[in-house]
Structure 1
């Protein structure tokens, strides 16, 4: 063999040795294979029949022992292979093993007839991961049992949400999940330990919402609250969207979230349980709006107390100037404490009984990205970081029966990096996307509409068609924000109704109406089915 000379042996004492041929596996336990009169040959390495996957790698090392190392011959797949001597052993290394079956052979001649020894180690290299497809997973309602089905060619088992299933001869598998999380990984593993992972989302049919927004302070005013309730009684709306945390950073009820109380954010304008009981008693769904990262209360208190990484920073370490929003208005979406604060509020609201949590300002500030710094973001993009935050929230609130929505700019469908709202990413992380497609907010010429504000049907219909494309295959519903206010052009019932029709023509029966003063035009709603 290479590296060892072949020469006439000098006379030496002859021993009859009853040798044990052994293999030492990963655990280090010796596995006796053969006993014979031989020159004490032993091979330590992988046992015969082993399948080496990607984790084990294509590089292997064996150790060979014998009474006389000079007489040992080692081959791989019938070809001699070099070895080096270390003390009383030969070290044999292989690298870049090809896919498929292999045989390592070590042999040595004894000093008496019939005392030669040979050891074979048959093994397979298989670093190809199985192929895995997962059928769309749907639950009839929140937290209901689901059946997971799919095909995992080349796999021996499939695992999902703590449950494991064997794979049939045809590659199919079925896993029953008594209560599936909103998103989880399905992992198919083969006998070599190679694994393929498919992220999976459990889609729950969104019950729909014909909703109107009201602030926490607005709810405390009978002059604003009662007309809204009258629309409910007339069955013109079936959902009310009520602020949990608003643009000023104030929480509208007596929140028990520690950070909210610590920074003085709680400004109780309504009793959450009483309001929810009242509205649920009327058959009304309630959406809790949380303005996430525009938060002047948290921003100012954090800067004051030295927790400056809670804010969006400038490259030189200052607080980013959010323009008309204010210098300390935008908190840092990548900061763990900021994320936890908003998620804690979402969980609390879900526990109280809000049917949905709808994030607003779940974005970075406007402006050039080069002028902003997001401490803690690591190697993630702003778009990925924000989508991850939304996904974390959904996982946290789903056990409490609440849906999660994300309000987004209309331009995000075509310009995902402008404010870090990547629609396909967000749609995979939320139950629904709520694009703000207010006609007054579009520039002339968008989607080929010369005057969007004067063409409410055209701009809403065309922009929502884009959101349909962006959310396809994600499991998310689109629930658009529509304009019930005048800005530059007077909006009456006809203009509001035109937007509702545009949404309906995109197979979107749900909508959210916005009017900062909570004064809505019932006549517009009367024109829709």
Structure 2
């Protein structure tokens, strides 16, 4: 791809940029051309494929870590998988190819719901768990499972539909600033197409039942139609608000169609149309977020890598991997109701379930292992009678993720109730190893879980 063009979608994994030319003045509107080299701050190795942005322009570094970008602005914004973001004032760039060093990080996170983040008691317990286990990140609901946004945003539609009915955090900048002072990496979780307030207020945007009426899921919640661009625009506006608030990463959850064959949309539902609209939303969000230099992630159902199709929800692993920076496979053992090949009871084969799902994903996508950061299970098994997932089982999942070479891990407990013991004694922010090859795996069963979203008990106010 041409380095100086605006990126409409992220390039495929492994795609590299053209070799840079010498610095030059551009004849177009006083824009300038900037070149440089992005390296790892510890190893001094070049970082390939690192996004570099100038205003709304984005290019990626080549295999030597070198970039060339044209535009107007005051700073370059740079990020790379497995590393922290960095803003570099243009005035600090000197020489033909100045080096920009990025600090490595392995993201190790716990989840906080809308209510958990607002509760001093629940939030405090999570922060203690992070410190106790040498972890460094939080996933925080910006739009949760019930469609509420817990802080004031300048989005008229959010006010109109009642998504701002309860403002749980009156001073969000101070809230974010306090977490940043603890050197935490912050991930904004946005539940996309499951949105009861929006579907209730705008029934023409809601998913319908084929026989007539509005669809409701097992929790009696309504969903919005992923084919409606108005729904895209609303969720992208929320993502921009989260980026402006200071989050390092925007993570889209429930970025899929409902797992129900009795639903109807505003357009015909086929494998191709579903896949195109889900991937298309992520591509549009990625483009809109270019000026903010945030990582963009998608939560993906754990069976997706094992299936050639979209399991009727619009998620296919290859196009998804090309659309975002980070793929977060939800590899909860309890979610694999049919198991995986050779391992029909995943709760008895926790390591294998996590590890083999990721190697299957890498085998199919050819992506670097550091593009994957899984959701791991920290809630009680509901499918196999296997009891709690506490320290020992959490350690097994972490080992599988680290052996694969993932860029970190995240634990999901919908009630934000995490063990009081030690489940991680790892290597801090060591740069994850880059696993390049996947181990061949057999074809997986063509099944679906009863709920391919983030699973467990529903979130509960404290």
Which category describes the TM-score, using the shorter chain as reference length? 0.5 to 0.7
Which among 458, 462, 466 is matched to residue 356 of structure 2? 462
Residues 311 and 497 (structure 1), Cα distance of their counterparts in 2 relative to 1, 3 Å cut: same
Determine whether 1:393 maps to 2:285: yes
Give the Å deviation of 1:378: 9.5
Residues 259 and 206 (structure 1), Cα distance of their counterparts in 2 relative to 1, 3 Å cut: farther
Could you say which residue in structure 2 is the equivalent of 1:36? Answer: none
Determine whether 1:148 maps to 2:17: yes
Could you say which residue in structure 1 is the equivalent of 2:158? Answer: 260
Residues 445 and 245 (structure 1), Cα distance of their counterparts in 2 relative to 1, 3 Å cut: closer
Query: Alpha-carbon deviations, 1:53-79, whole Å to 9, x = none?
Result: xxxxxxxxxxxxxxxxxxxxxxxxxxx
Which among 97, 102, 113 is matched to residue 215 of structure 1? 113
Question: SS at the partner of 1:448?
Answer: coil
Which among 188, 196, 211 is matched to residue 296 of structure 1? 196
Residues 489 and 358 (structure 1), Cα distance of their counterparts in 2 relative to 1, 3 Å cut: same
Which among 229, 241, 244 is matched to residue 336 of structure 1? 229
Aligned mates of 1:150, 1:493 — CA distance in 2? 48
1:178-193 equivalent positions in 2, closer than 5 A: 179=54, 181-182=57-58
Deviates more, 1:468-477 or 1:269-278: 468-477
Residues 525 and 431 (structure 1), Cα distance of their counterparts in 2 relative to 1, 3 Å cut: same
Which among 181, 202, 213 is matched to residue 318 of structure 1? 213
Give the Å deviation of 1:426: 1.1
Determine whether 1:375 maps to 2:375: no
1:433-448 equivalent positions in 2, closer than 5 A: 433-448=327-342
Q: Is the 8 A contact 1:335 1:377 kept in 2?
A: no
Residues 401 and 475 (structure 1), Cα distance of their counterparts in 2 relative to 1, 3 Å cut: farther
The structure number with the bigger radius of gyration is 1
Q: Is the 8 A contact 1:497 1:528 kept in 2?
A: no
Give the Å deviation of 1:458: 1.5
Could you say which residue in structure 2 is the equivalent of 1:356? Answer: 249
Aligned mates of 1:338, 1:294 — CA distance in 2? 11
Residues 133 and 260 (structure 1), Cα distance of their counterparts in 2 relative to 1, 3 Å cut: closer
Q: Is the 8 A contact 1:447 1:463 kept in 2?
A: no
Which among 266, 278, 281 is matched to residue 181 of structure 2? 281
* Greater share of strand: 1
Give the Å deviation of 1:389: 0.4
Query: Alpha-carbon deviations, 1:65-103, whole Å to 9, x = none?
Result: xxxxxxxxxxxxxxxxxxxxxxxxxxxxxxxxxxxxxxx
Could you say which residue in structure 2 is the equivalent of 1:28? Answer: none
Determine whether 1:489 maps to 2:399: no
Give the Å deviation of 1:508: 1.1
Give the Å deviation of 1:221: 1.8
Question: SS at the partner of 1:265?
Answer: coil
Aligned mates of 1:178, 1:454 — CA distance in 2? 46
The alignment yields a C-alpha RMSD, in angstroms, of 3.1
Aligned mates of 1:522, 1:447 — CA distance in 2? 34
Give the Å deviation of 1:220: 2.1
Residues 473 and 451 (structure 1), Cα distance of their counterparts in 2 relative to 1, 3 Å cut: closer
Question: SS at the partner of 1:211?
Answer: strand
Aligned mates of 1:459, 1:181 — CA distance in 2? 40
Q: Is the 8 A contact 2:199 2:223 kept in 1?
A: yes
Give the Å deviation of 1:417: 1.6
Determine whether 1:226 maps to 2:121: no
Runs of 4+ more than 6 Å apart: none
TM-score (norm 2): 0.67
Could you say which residue in structure 2 is the equivalent of 1:187? Answer: none
Could you say which residue in structure 1 is the equivalent of 2:144? Answer: 246
Determine whether 1:502 maps to 2:395: no
Structure 1 unmatched ranges of 5 or more? 1-131, 139-146, 152-161, 165-176, 185-201
Query: Alpha-carbon deviations, 1:469-526, whole Å to 9, x = none?
Result: 2332489711100001112322221110000000111011400101112122253433
Residues 500 and 181 (structure 1), Cα distance of their counterparts in 2 relative to 1, 3 Å cut: farther
Residues 273 and 226 (structure 1), Cα distance of their counterparts in 2 relative to 1, 3 Å cut: same
How many pairs are equivalent?
341
Could you say which residue in structure 2 is the equivalent of 1:417? Answer: 310
Structure 2 unmatched ranges of 5 or more? 8-15, 21-30, 34-51, 61-77, 84-105, 428-462
Give the Å deviation of 1:329: 1.2
